[in-house]
Structure formats: structure tokens, C-alpha cells
Structure 1
Amino acid sequence: MSLRIVGFAVLYLLVLLLGRLSAMTELDGEAVISPAAGVAAVWLVMRRESPWRWVDVTALGALTAGGLILTGMSPDRAAVDGVAAVAAATVFSTAAGRWLPGLWNSRAEQGGRPLSHLVELWRIILIAVIAALAGSVIETVGERLLGGEPSAITALMRLVRDVVGVLIFGVATRRAGFVLRGHWKPPSGPRALECAAIFLVSAGAYWLAFGVNTSVPIGFALLPLTVWAALRMPTPLLIAHSLVFSTAAALLSLGGSGQFGDVTDAPLRALLIELYLGVLAVVGLALALSRDERDALIQRLRVSEQEATEKADMMTTVVNSMTEGLAILDQQGRFVLRNPAAGRLLGNTSSVSGGVLLGSDYGFFHPDGTPVAEADMPWVHALAGQDVPPMDILIRNAAVPEGRIVRFNVARLSVQPGGPIQVVVVFHDVTADRRHRDELMSFAGLVAHDLLNPLTTIEGWAEVLEAELAGYRPAERVTRIQRAAARMRTFLNGLLAYTAARDGKLMPTTVNLPLLMQDIVNSRLDQAEYTGKVTPLFETGGLDGAVEADPVLVRQLLENLIDNALDLMPAGATPQIGVSCQAGPNGMLRIDILDNGIGLPPGKLHEVFTSFHRGDEHRRGSGLELAVCKRIVERHGGTIEAMANPYGSGTRMSFTLPSGRSAYARTLESQWAQRAPSR
């Protein structure tokens, strides 16, 4: 720490003595150039966090007073100037620590950072004005106390002198420290030659303006030189340029030459010199810092562009190497982007490109073979803001004549807030998975059918055994056998029902929904009365339509949904079930079944339609009932979904079927008559 104090002390004393060379006798020995003000500001800023700061402040005041006495100033006046110098440097250090944190940092291991932003220049100017004002007030008051009569121009000259000292000599001192630590690389090649040319031209111009010319005010002509230097020279060289030629201009003007040499009023001449040098310094620094900020921004943009290009190339490589298809569609369903796998899976690589509409012309069918309407495409629902579950679509076209089942996963995409909505579609080939699953389900159906015969034998002998053991304790164990056999029969019947719903030949006809529902309601009322359960309340007044469908499967569909609603009732509650229908688009009829049960968890609204799903381990059935419902609806070209009851607790099951004798129903009937069941 002592070495740093000594170093700053030696530097400060040196520039103080050099600055005294510009003293004017007309101003009672007042210096026109004050490099000491800039060095003092840097000194205390660099040492503001040091525990030895009081030593720096004391040394600054003592060196100021001693140096002034050595150059002929009276001791009392030197003491006043020493206090003023300490006050100005302290104010600058304190304000810089608050308004310019990190700039000219005092920690040796960090070294701070140089002046590099235009906003920092304006703050330094403001801080320098405040600090110089404090020092000027102390000097003026002290001089008056000592019997002097300083003028307002003299006080203003002192203020401008100290501000210029900070801008030129303070900035130069701190920048020199960064250069000496190797934080700057000098220019080379043509740029070095241009910098040398700027110095040579400036030397000639300043000599002409301040050394030869004494009558014509051509100082303004030096401003283009400052602009040239600021725009073409590195900032350290610009600061050196400003330091050298400002000092030269001031010394020549004090010698009586130049455009300010004819000003007879000494304070006014000194003030004009300081203002002129201050303007040149501010213009040069402002342009240079603006250029540095622009260059830094351009460099960051180049780096960001390079990083973005590398990431884009990497993402393109990853996307193109995916086995799953990936595509982005606009609001019209046209391709914005796709990977090669999307073309392979869709079976039409030549036309799967930007601007091509992804529609039914690619040969999109439901897995049962019925065409997928344009309005039923999953991305259409996604663009409408709906939550779309994964959808399996059979693709059959000239490129894929044997057909391929592809699972479509869609999600909305908004690149910019408030911008156009797009859709991300991921294609996954599930042909082998579905074939494997279908084979397993077919095998399960065969096994279930084969197991019914031995199960019937078990149930029959259990009844015989129960009759023979009536009144004996072992009869309770027979009851257990019968309950297990009943559960087994329920499971096997579910497998057979699912197999029938999946593979059975459809026999469409007009089904009167009110009559069918009334029959189902009567059977459930009789069942509740027979078993002693709470009698459910049914509201079917809103059901007044007919559908064109297989009557056996429609009955099974409604019975499964009604039984599911009854099964979800809390203990002791009276079941309330409402059934209604309304016309839907494309010749479909939408049927809604609402209950007041416990409802379904929000995240399980799609899972309930999967095979062997049970939301509650205490529920009855095989877990295939709702999967059977989904299969029946899809085979008729409809859709089914579960959602919360909008009118209270419970669930609403909604599904669509072809409306009775509608054009869509007649089309389905023609298709059913022309093709075999799909597997």
C-alpha cells in the first residue's frame, strides 16, 4: 500500500509543478492548465476503499500546499488551495463511487475498467462540475478572507479549468495505467499510418492556428481534425492526441500568440482557452466512446449471429436425423418447415415442402378405414385452441399402397407474443405397435372365448356343491369360489365385448334413441330395486333423436356409459343422470351424458379410454368398458371425450354418431357394404 501512496504522490507533485508553468502573473500566479486536478481525482478514486485513505487525503493536501509554496505562492494562499484541492478530489471520489461503480476501481486485483460508455462520460462531466464547484467556492471564499477580491470570471475560470483537467489529464492518467498493464494493443499496418498522419496534420494545423496566426479566428477549423481523430484513432491514442495538442494550444495562447493572444483581459483569455479546450475534449471523447460502443455492439451481434448459426445448424442436423417426422404448419395448414422423415412417413416426399397444404389428399383415414374429414384433422382443433390428444391416422396413397398407421402429436406454437399461431406436428409410425396390439387383443378374445366353457363348468359344479353343503360351514368357501368365478366372467365378457367392438361386422340401421334409452333406464331401475341400492334419477327429456348405427353396439355403448356414471357415485348419494342430444356438424348427432358423481381427475380425461384403465382400484369391471365405448364410436366415424360437468360436480361424457338417415350415415352405409372389416 505504501508504494501506491508514494507513486501517486510523486506523480501528483510532478504534474502540479508542470501545471504551475502555465501560471499568469495577471491572475496573481493562477495556473491556466491544471493537470493536478485530474490526477488528484484519479488518486482518491483509486484509493477510496483503502483503509489508508486518510493518509492519501493528508498527503494530497500537504503536497498541494508545499508545491504551491515552492513555486512562489504565499503560504496562507497555498493552504487555502490545498484545502480546496482535497475537497474537490474527495467530492469527486465519493460521487464516482456512487454514480460510476466499477469505473477506475480501487482494488488492485481488479483494476476497474476504463471509460468506455457515452453515459459514463456525461456522468464524469457532471461529477467533475460538482467537485470543481466545491473547490472553486473554497478558493474564492478563502481568497476573500485573505483580503483579495476575485472576480466572477476568475471563479468561473477555476471551475472550467478543473473540469477540463479531469476530462483531459484525469482520463489520460487512468487510461495510461490500463495501457501499461498490457490491456491495449496498438494499431498496425494502414491504421498505424493513418494515426501517424493524423498527428502530423494536427501538429501543422495547431501550429498554424496558435503559433503563426494572430488575427484570424480559425480555431473552428481544428474541430474536423478532432472528429477525424475520434472516428479513426483508437481511444487511447485519441486521449493522447487531446492531451498533447490541448497543452500545446494553451501554452501558445498564454505566450500571446494564436487567436486568443489578443484578448487583453487575462481572466477572460484564460476562460476562453479552457472553454475551447473543453469543447474539443468533449467532442473527441463523445465521438470515440460512441464509436467504441457501436463497435462493441457490432462485435456482440457478430458473435450472437455466429452462435445462432451454429445452433441452427446443429438443430437442423438433429431434426433431419430424427426417425420421427417433424413439421410446422401455418394457420392455413400449410407446411412452413418439415424434416425428411415427415416426407417418408407421409409417403409423398416430392410434395412435402414449404407452402404445400397438409390435407386429406395425402390419403388420411381412421384406423377402421373411414376417411378423416378436413375439420377433424388434429391440427385444425389445435389451431382452434383445443387440447388435442394423440391421434392415430391410417395413411394410404400411391407411395404407401399397403397403408401405414401414423400417430399425430400436435401442439400450438407462438413464436412471438401476439404473432400468428402455428402448429408443431410430430409423426410417429405405430403400424408395428398397433399390429402387435391387435394380435394380442385377438389372442385375448380367443382365450376368453375358450375359457368360458371351463368357467361355466366351474360355476355349475359350484352351484351343486353349494346345494349339497347348505347349512354347513364349508358352504361359505363355495361362495368365495362363486364370487371369483363371477369376476372372471365379467373380465372375459369385457375382452369379448372389446374384440366384438373392434372386429365385428357392423350392421347399421336407424336406432331410436329415446326408446333404447328408456329400456336401459328401466333395467337399471329394476336392478337398483332388486339389489336394494339407492334408486337413480334419470332425465332423458332432451334425448329425441335417432342415429344410423349398429343397434347392438349402440346399446352396449349407452349401457357402458350409464354403468360408468353409476359406478362413480359417492357412497350414499342419489345418482342423477341426464341424457340429451343435439345436432352436430357434418351430419353427426352429439349425445351428452351428465352425472353428479365424484368426477375424473383433470389429467385423466384421456386415459380413461385406454384399455384396462381403472381410475379407482375399488371400481368394478374389467377396465375395458370405456375403451369399448371409444372403439364403438370411432368405428361409426364419431368422437368421444370426457370432461368435467359444467353444471356442478361429476362428469360429462360426449360422443357423436351419424344422425339417422343423414347424408353422412348413407355414405358410411355404402362404405360398410363395400369393404370388409379392417384389422
Structure 2
Amino acid sequence: MSLRTSLARTTVFAALYTVATVAGRMTAMNGHGLSLVWPAAGVAAVWFCVQRGSRNRWVDMVALTTIVFAVNVATGGGTGLALGAFLAIANLVQAVVFAWLLGRLRPTLWGAGGRDRLASPRDLGYLVGVTVAAAAVSVVIGMTGVWLFTEQSLLLAFADWMARQIAGMFVLSALGLWFGPVVAAIFMRHSSPAGWLRAVDRTLRATPGWRVGEYLAVTVCSVGLYLIGFVFDNGLPLAFPVIIVIVWVAVRLSTGFVVAHSVIFGAATVVFTLVGLGPMATIADPHAQALVAQLFVVIIAVVGLALALGRDERAALMRELATEKEQAARNAAMMTTIFDAMADGVAVINDEGRVVMHNPAAVRLLSHPGAPTVRAKDIRERLRHLDGTPVANRDLPHIRALAGDRIEVVDMVLLDPGERESRIFRLTATPLPSASGANSAVVLYHDVTAERRNRDELASFAGVVAHDLRNPLTTVEGWTEAAVEALDAAGGGPAIEQARQGLIRVTRAATHMRGLINDLLAYTAARDEALAPGPVELAGLVADIAQDRTDAAMAGGRAVPRFTIGALDAVYADAVGVRQVLDNLMGNAIKYTAPGVIPQLTISSARHDGVVEVTVADNGIGIPSGQHEAIFDNFHRAHRGAGYSGNGLGLAICQRVVARHGGTIRAEDNPGGGSRFVFTLPATRKPAEVAQRHRSGARASSDRVAVAA
């Protein structure tokens, strides 16, 4: 807010405050110097709220104090300068306390630091509380001055002063806090009086004709009832029918009209009482007369605003509810469309085992031919593990999900009752909790029959091709060796040496090709060959592999690796597969070592709840960041072009073998430098647990390995 704008507002409010103060003194009852109302309290409250954050607040304080002091002294409101000063301070403190409390309690309201206007009974309650608190502070200061300088301290006078401050402050502050945002918005949008008039005209044009008639009817009825209650009452207390109009206005018409109606007809009550008309004028005691008149004004204002703001709040909640309902309906329609358009089957199964919701794809994929719906019983009876064994009730995906498990991926076979072949589904089950306690499970059925068939055909083709390539490769190797021998026998010469080098390159390429073919065959065998699990002593197996690697290094003139073999637990697994895993991991550890560094390997194990965790750690070049999972993919090489040969199938074979045993394998960085591979296998001492683990691993993990690979 600029200094010029702030001073302009100070000038306007100072003028309004002067008028309100003089008007309040004009309502002083004869012979008592007691004002019937004090509108200056409301003007001051709005003044200090509007000037919140002003850089010249001291100007506002000086102006308010000067005005109230001068008017009170000039009109006899304070006996002497000292009492006039006390009363001026009381009015100043009241305005400051009102603005401060409103800003602390309802900072979102216009005039309290925000932009909102009164919108709910809660806002009204805070406004009433702030008004009472500010008035109480003012009355304590003012009555203290009266007691000090006049030695008068009447309880009724105290109550009258309190009611007068509350009435003036509450009614006018409600008027200001309601119309303030509207007026401010008009002034911000339009800079001329013509623009203000156009805004008012648009507001009137937006009001339906019958509503205009109702406003006029309310106004006429209000005038009539006030005349009956205050002019033609024949000495009877007939002011109470006015409450009927207040309720009518509050229930039917705008809140702004309610505020204006309360201010206008509250002022009419004061005027009638001053001229000796109405039930309040018949009260002999001036303090009691003023108190009753002010309470009447406050009551009609509070009742009207409470009803109107309650109605507005309900209307706002209904609009919000209608909007949310409409949005929810749109979202539901969109979700239904997506749900029905899904190619995968989705079924929601409750805790009673009934399918309570499904999409058309679920009917097409899971139900009997021609059946219109999906029945959980049919699925349960036809569901099998990948090895063909029935699925126990506790292993059903939706049962496990209802127990709290989240089934990420599990493959199962669904027997087809018709002539079609049985299909393989990849199932995902997720718990679906409910506030009522009746939980359900969402099961997703993804048909992977064609995918598995294509993959199996491709794997079989790769195995056949790899096997068939051995014969021509053997021929190439044999004739290459014979050609080299013939060249050696032919003697020397540049041409002979060039031919010899060419044949050496052919031999190297054939050797690399044979390694690739052997790995492809091993990869296929790791997936297809039946496992023959039994007790396997890891200690002897690791020692044999270590000796073979040592002999190979010595024969090739390379650095001899150093092995540290800890205590190794026995496992229940396929001996050939376990040897293949350990040989690949130990071979990689030796191969991926920096030049000039002696390979150092540490092989150890630990047993946890029927599972043996085997660790192979090395001091090699390590695994590049972000590739600790990707290295298990088919044909993935983490160190391409770095002088390290390989075809990227070794770790994929390890993962496939371990997974078929129901275990897991992971790669980590070795804290001492290098890499560390950790895999798990069933222990030997719990046959029942081993069998169960092996069965579930063979069923559920085979395809997961293929996907990862």
C-alpha cells in the first residue's frame, strides 16, 4: 500500500468516524449524557482493519484519539479533560484489539490479512468473540476512568456500555467485512464512477424478476412490522414479530441484504426509541432502556447472519458435493471404459471366494465357453502349477493377497474344459482393503501362452542350431589344423608365414564360436533339463573347481589365483547345476581382474532358516554403476571393448539355475574392492521344506528368470 493511498484512506475514515461519533453523541438520553448507540466503535474497527499493514498507523491512532476526545469534550461526554482522555484511549485500544485479534484468529478474512468475506457460522462466531473481547477491554478502561473521576460505578451502566460497544462494533464490522471485498473488487476493476454504476447494473440484471419482487415484499413487510411494533403498538410489546421478517430474509435472500437489513432496521429501532416510540421507550431506567435497545439490535443481527451464513455454507457444501459427484461419475465412467477395454482379465474376489467384479476379457479368458460370467470355483478347480500339480487352497493368489501378501508375478496353468489347449497365465494379486472390513483381492490374468510357446520354440531352435553347428565347426577346426601342419612341413617363406597367420586367426574364431555354442547349449540345458536334486557338499565341489582353475592358470602361464575357502554348508540341489553356477562365478572373478593383479577369491556360506547363502567375493575390476541387475540379462556384457572376452550368457545361466532351485542371486560391490555375488540354495537338513521350496521355485520362477535374462 502506497503512502498516498494510506493517507487518503485515513482521511476518509477520519471523516466517517467524526460523523459516527457525533451521531452517537446525538443519541444521548436527556439528563444522563448516556448515548443510546455508539456507531463509532464499528467505524473504528473497520478503519483499523482496512489500514492493516499501513506505514502510518500512528497517524490513524492520533486521528482517532483526537476526534473522540474532541467530540466527547465538546458535547459533554466526558467531565473534564482527564476523563475525556481516558475515554479516547478506551476507544483507541478497542479498535486496536479488534483488528489484532481478528488477524490472529481469522487471517483469511478480508480486513484480517486475507481476501475472504464472512462465509460461515464459524466466521460469525469468531467475529462475535473478537467483538466481545475488544469491547470488554474498552469497557474496563472506560469504566476505570469514570470511577476515578466521577466516583460512579453502576453495574447496569457497565452492562449498558458493554452492550453499546458490542452493538456498534458488531453490526458495522459485519457490514464492512461483508461488503468490503465486493467494493474493493469493483474499485480494482473500474477506475471511474461510470464503471462502478455498470457493475451495480450488471448485478441487478443478474437477479431474476421474482427475486426483485421478493426483495420489495420483504422491505414492505419490514416497514409494516416496524410501524406496528414501534408506532401503532398501543403500549403493547409488539416488536417480536420483526423476528419473522429477519428469519424470512435470512432463509431466502442474499447475505448482503441480511447485513444491510440488520443495519437499517437496527438504526430504526434506535430512532424509534429516541423519539419515545416502541416497547423500549417505555422502560423508565435509561441504562436499562439503552441496554434492551442494544440487545435487540444485536439479536436481530446475530440471528439473521447465523441463519444466512449457515445457509450459504450448506449451499457451498452442496455445490462442492455436486461437483465432486460429477467428477466422480466422470472418473467412474472413464475407469469403466478402461476396465472393459483391457485385454488382460481382471477379477475382484472377496473374502468369501466369490468374484464380485470382472471385465469382459476375464469372461473370455477364464470362463467356460458360452458362460456369461466368471466363477471363482471354476478357476480354483482348473488352476495348476507349471509342473501340472494342483494348487493348494492356501497358495491361491487371491487367498495370499487376502492374507496381506502382494503377489507380484506368478505363472500358472489354467486347464481348458473345452477342446482348446490349456493356457498359461501370469497372475498378479493385490489386496484391496475396505473400510467396512470386508476385504477383497484384485487378480490380474495375463495370457502368456503364445509368448511362452514362441520363447520355447526359439529356445529349442537355438539349441538345435547350436548342436548342429558343432559338426561343420569340427570340420573347420580339423582341416585348419591339418593345413597348419602342412604349412609347417613345407618350410618357411613370407607366403607360408602369411598363410600360417591366417589359419591361426581362423582357429581363434572357431574357438570363440565353439565357446558360444557351448554356452548356448548350457543355457538351454539350464532351462529344459530335469533337475536331479540331492545332497551336495559345497566344500569338495569348490575345492575341485579351484584346483582346475589353478591348473589352467599354470598351464597357460598366467598368474595363479589365490582362494580363501571358508566353512561351506551342504545344499540340497542338482550337483551339475550347482557346479555350473560356481564354475561360472569363479571363472568370471578370475577373468575380470585388472592386468598385473593376482586374482583373490573368497568363497563362504551361511545358513538361514533352511536356506544356504553362498558368497563369492573377488578383488576384480568391479561392476559399473547401474548394471548390478542388468548383468544377468541375456548377452549383456558390462565391460565391452575393455579387453575382456565373453558372450554375456554366463550370469544368465547362473540365474536360471539358481531360480529353478527356488533361490535368488544378486550382485554387489565388494567393500574391499571388486565384486561380490550372493546366491541361495536349499539346505539339506529339512527335506520337507526343501521339497516345497524346490516345487514352488520350479513352478513360479522359471519364467521370471527368462524375463530377467
> TM-score interval w.r.t. the shorter chain?
0.7 to 0.9
Q: Normalising by structure 1, what TM-score?
A: 0.74
Aligned to 2:47: 43
CA distance in 1, matches of 2:140, 2:607: 92
Aligned to 1:277: 297
Is 1:495 the counterpart of 2:520? The answer is yes
Aligned to 1:653: 680
> C-alpha displacement at 1:371, in angstroms?
6.0
Per the alignment, in what secondary structure is the counterpart of residue 513 of structure 1?
A: strand
Contact 1:560 1:629 in 2 (8 A): yes
CA distance in 1, matches of 2:75, 2:524: 113
Q: Alpha-carbon deviations, 1:135-191, whole Å to 9, x = none?
A: 445544555676574644334322321111111123224434556646977864666
> C-alpha displacement at 1:278, in angstroms?
2.5
Q: Normalising by structure 2, what TM-score?
A: 0.71
- Tell me whether 319-328 or 268-277 shows the greater mean CA deviation: 319-328
Per the alignment, in what secondary structure is the counterpart of residue 359 of structure 1?
A: helix
> C-alpha displacement at 1:24, in angstroms?
0.3
CA distance in 1, matches of 2:606, 2:57: 88
Contact 1:231 1:288 in 2 (8 A): yes
- 1:216-615 aligned at under 5 Å gives the runs 226-330=246-350, 334-346=354-366, 348=368, 356=376, 359-362=379-382, 364=384, 366=386, 377=396, 388=407, 390-398=409-417, 401-408=420-427, 410=428, 412-413=430-431, 423-460=441-478, 465=484, 485-500=510-525, 513-514=534-535, 523-524=544-545, 527-528=548-549, 530-531=551-552, 533-534=561-562, 537=565, 542=570, 554-564=574-584, 566-567=586-587, 573=600, 575-576=602-603, 592=612, 594-597=614-617, 611-612=634-635
CA distance in 2, matches of 1:419, 1:413: 12
Per the alignment, in what secondary structure is the counterpart of residue 33 of structure 1?
A: coil
> C-alpha displacement at 1:415, in angstroms?
5.3
> C-alpha displacement at 1:300, in angstroms?
1.5
Q: Alpha-carbon deviations, 1:55-84, whole Å to 9, x = none?
A: 544544455456567767689576765554
- Tell me whether 224-233 or 87-96 shows the greater mean CA deviation: 224-233
Contact 2:283 2:289 in 1 (8 A): yes
Contact 2:406 2:430 in 1 (8 A): no
Amino acid in the other structure paired with 1:235: T
Amino acid in the other structure paired with 1:88: Q
CA distance in 1, matches of 2:515, 2:243: 99
Q: Kindly tell me: are residues 439 and 4 of structure 1, through their superposed partners in 2, closer, same or farther at Cα, counting changes over 3 Å?
A: same
CA distance in 2, matches of 1:355, 1:255: 87
Q: Alpha-carbon deviations, 1:239-265, whole Å to 9, x = none?
A: 233223333333334444544444322
> C-alpha displacement at 1:299, in angstroms?
1.7
Aligned to 2:705: none
Query: How many pairs align?
Result: 637
* 5+ residue gaps, structure 1: 548-553, 583-589, 668-679
Q: Alpha-carbon deviations, 1:327-380, whole Å to 9, x = none?
A: 4444566545433333334465866858745834455563x7666665555555
Counterpart selection for 2:96 from 81, 90, 98: 90
Per the alignment, in what secondary structure is the counterpart of residue 27 of structure 1?
A: coil
Contact 2:348 2:355 in 1 (8 A): yes
Contact 2:611 2:682 in 1 (8 A): yes
Contact 2:466 2:517 in 1 (8 A): yes
Contact 1:128 1:163 in 2 (8 A): yes
Contact 1:103 1:114 in 2 (8 A): yes
CA distance in 2, matches of 1:359, 1:313: 28
- Tell me whether 494-503 or 444-453 shows the greater mean CA deviation: 494-503
CA distance in 1, matches of 2:488, 2:349: 72
Is 1:100 the counterpart of 2:119? The answer is no
Amino acid in the other structure paired with 1:172: L
Q: Alpha-carbon deviations, 1:81-102, whole Å to 9, x = none?
A: 5554444333333443443334
Contact 2:345 2:362 in 1 (8 A): yes
* Identity value in percent: 32
Counterpart selection for 2:134 from 131, 134, 155: 131
Counterpart selection for 1:25 from 24, 27, 30: 30
Amino acid in the other structure paired with 1:23: A
Contact 1:334 1:358 in 2 (8 A): no
> C-alpha displacement at 1:11, in angstroms?
3.8
Contact 2:539 2:569 in 1 (8 A): no
Contact 2:606 2:612 in 1 (8 A): yes
CA distance in 1, matches of 2:526, 2:46: 89
Counterpart selection for 1:122 from 105, 108, 125: 125
Q: Kindly tell me: are residues 262 and 406 of structure 1, through their superposed partners in 2, closer, same or farther at Cα, counting changes over 3 Å?
A: same
Aligned to 1:670: none
Q: Kindly tell me: are residues 557 and 239 of structure 1, through their superposed partners in 2, closer, same or farther at Cα, counting changes over 3 Å?
A: same
CA distance in 1, matches of 2:368, 2:422: 13
Per the alignment, in what secondary structure is the counterpart of residue 31 of structure 2?
A: helix
Per the alignment, in what secondary structure is the counterpart of residue 469 of structure 2?
A: helix
Q: What's the C-alpha RMSD, in Å, of the aligned pairs?
A: 5.2
Contact 1:540 1:580 in 2 (8 A): no
- 1:622-661 aligned at under 5 Å gives the runs 623-624=648-649, 639-642=662-665, 651-654=678-681
- 1:10-21 aligned at under 5 Å gives the runs 10-21=15-26
Amino acid in the other structure paired with 2:467: H
CA distance in 1, matches of 2:173, 2:543: 100
Aligned to 2:38: 34
CA distance in 1, matches of 2:607, 2:45: 86
